[in-house]
Homo-oligomer: A and B are copies of this chain.
Amino acid sequence: MNKYMRMAINEARKGIRNGHGGPFGAVIVKDGVVVGKGHNQVVKNNDPTCHGEIMAIHKACKNLGTFDLSGCELYTTGEPCPMCMSAILWANIDMVYYGCNILDTEDIGFRDKKFYEMQQPGAREKLVHELDRKACLKLYKEYKEITDKVNY
């Protein structure tokens, strides 16, 4: 089997045997070198954002000193949830390899599939509401007019 996926599985296994969270490990590779690894630590850290992919992105960014992971591949034991998928997109990661799919993940009790459905247009109407747009547009305008900022 793929050596990076084996590393991701080992990361995940370490996590579940220590009660850190779900069976999700991730490894980020650039030019054949591992630049970041992580596993789910939602339970350990009491933080719902501490998925394996997010932890691996944190570490890779720290190691490489940039928020831009262009040229990197990510290996993960489970198909990324929409949070991790979007984090992967923000990070400009080039390629993602996952082991188990979204239905496998639903089978062991996680809500990833439901959350993908919540990303569809119109699905968030009861949860998400507009408020004070005018005041926020002033803030956006101030940002737009800053000329020496770092875009991403």
Contacts and interface: CB of A to CB of B under 8 A. Distances in A.
Interface of A: 1-2, 5-6, 9, 12-13, 16, 19, 21-23, 42-43, 45-49, 54, 57-58, 61-62, 65-69, 75, 77-92, 94-101, 104-105, 107-109, 111, 115-116, 118-121, 124, 127-133, 135-137, 139-140, 142-144, 146, 149-152
A131 B98 contact: yes
Contact of A152 (B23, B48, B66, B116): B48
This chain: copies in complex:
2
Contacts of A132: 1-2, 5, 99
Contact of A23 (B89, B116, B142): B142
Given A99-B135, A149-B19, A67 B47 contact: yes
